[in-house]
Amino acid sequence: MGANRAVVVRHVTRIEGHGNIVVDLEGDTIRRCDLEIVEAPRFFEALLRGRPYDEAPRIACRICGICSVGHATASVHAVEAALGITPGPKLRVVRRLNMAGEWLQSHVLHVCFLVAPDALGVPSIVPLVGSHPDVVKRALRLKRLANDVCCTVSGRHVMPISYHAGWMGHWPDRSELRALQEQLIAAEEDLDALVELFAALSWPQVERSTELLAALEPGGAYPMMGGPLHSTSGTVTAPEAYGDVLHEYLVDHSASKHVRGTGGGGTIRVGALARYALAHDRLHPRARDAARRLGLRPGSGNPFDFVAAQLVESVQAHQEAVEAVSSLLADPAPEEPARPTRPEGGRGVGMVEVPRGTLVHDYTIGADGRLAAANCIIPTSQNLASIEADMRAFLPSLVGRPSPEIAHGLEMLVRAYDPCVSCSVH
């Protein structure tokens, strides 16, 4: 038996928020392998309780600076479900366009700014300014475009305050849409070059099958705006019954809850890789071609393939934005607000697909128009148990290496999931 060894990373770099990797080895035997979430809980659910329902989207969007559009969307969907409001068709197009912008900015941020340094052998994106200036310039152009999509649609680059049940407080006019259309068309070359770059890179191989979940929309659209929760275990669950599938629990080493599913060993994966597995046949031909060039398999169990799946979804989001802007330019006038059919309130669930996976907002609105109860389940929480299981699966291939290499390999694996720790301790 070899010597005891501890590998500790405090804190994991290039992720959103603070988390530690703690590994205890006794020879080649793994005694401990944890991802500690060390940020303090922020109690957003308690902040929402007692507030007027119209304030909920503006409070909820503050949960995350990266996924603020997703939280606003899930929040307003929950309010609309509780009040019996059915958004009009153009309002749905506008909101989907905003989500497409957020997907693009989040995926580009992760792939280019957080992950690319691993693949190109540097500690951060800063050295790439000198060694790979074209990569950095493309990333900055795409990030700016994605933020401009969100600003055009909702009036702010992040944390939109224009979301209301049944209507939007900001509506893009024709000149704004035309300017955005020109930017989107010009960006296609940058996205194509990014796919070409990453298709030539190699990643570690860690194969571990687990249950995959995504909320698939009726009608065949790629999963983004919510619908029944589909699982690779074969179940299809209505959003209101998410508690039958997503089981939250506490662990001693994490300030964030973990979530177990119903199939395959209890762990689950959500996010780009799960969506690709469950809905790859719904992709636009441009995105399918990107998946082919990246060698992405629908049945991949390698968590490092999250990066390729996010690139595929970047192409999908860009294409959806192009089509949404064209649709709105053909008829840019805003719709009349949709009215409640159940003004006395009740329970409503908003479930959408944000960049990191399935996001749930569950509200109960009382007859006084205030939130009596609120529950949020965040994608990173759903992935945490799977991240730790993948670390244990990856570790045996690393134990013969020096401790800094073990630490770096595990950091890369955690980063591949694109965890948002700040969201997870909402």
Mapped onto helix, strand or coil, the DSSP state of residue 26 is: strand
Residues 262-297 have pLDDT tens digits of: 865 689 999 999 999 999 999 999 999 999 999 999
Q: pLDDT-based confidence at 80, cuts 50/70/90?
A: very high
Residues 148-199 have pLDDT tens digits of: 999 999 999 999 999 999 999 999 999 999 999 999 999 999 999 999 999 9
Task: Quote the pLDDT of residue 302.
Answer: 98
pLDDT surpasses 90 at 234: yes
If one counts every other C-beta atom within 10 angstroms of the C-beta of residue 133, the result is: 10
Mapped onto helix, strand or coil, the DSSP state of residue 37 is: strand
Task: Quote the pLDDT of residue 28.
Answer: 87
The two structure tokens encoding residue 100: 């497409």
Percent of the chain with pLDDT over 90: 95
**Angstrom distance (rounded) from CA 421 to CA 423:** 5
Burial class (CB in 10 A: 0-12, 13-18, 19+), 418: buried
If one counts every other C-beta atom within 10 angstroms of the C-beta of residue 131, the result is: 11
Q: Is the separation of the CB atoms in 312 and 290 below 8 Å?
A: yes
If one counts every other C-beta atom within 10 angstroms of the C-beta of residue 42, the result is: 15
pLDDT surpasses 90 at 48: yes
DSSP secondary structure of 141-191? HHHHHHHHHHHHHHSSSSS---EETTEES----HHHHHHHHHHHHHHHHHH
From edge to edge, which strands make up the β-sheet containing 357-365?
A: 346-354, 357-365, 371-377
Task: Quote the pLDDT of residue 1.
Answer: 54
Alpha helical stretches, state H, 222-282: 272-279
Q: Global pTM?
A: 0.96
Query: Which amino acid, 15?
Result: I
Please name every residue paired with 163 in a beta bridge, in sequence order, or none if there are none: 168
Mean pLDDT of 123-143: 95
**Angstrom distance (rounded) from CA 67 to CA 411:** 22
Q: pLDDT-based confidence at 426, cuts 50/70/90?
A: confident
Q: pLDDT-based confidence at 33, cuts 50/70/90?
A: very high
Nearest CA among 139, 102, 202, 136 for reference residue 412: 202
Torsion angle, CA of 366/43/60/110, rounded to 10 degrees? -150
Query: Which amino acid, 199?
Result: A
Mean pLDDT of 116-135: 94
Residues 368-379 have pLDDT tens digits of: 999 999 999 999
Please name every residue paired with 375 in a beta bridge, in sequence order, or none if there are none: 362
Cis-peptide into 11, omega within 30 deg: yes
Residues 103-121 have pLDDT tens digits of: 999 999 999 999 999 999 9
Task: Quote the pLDDT of residue 2.
Answer: 67
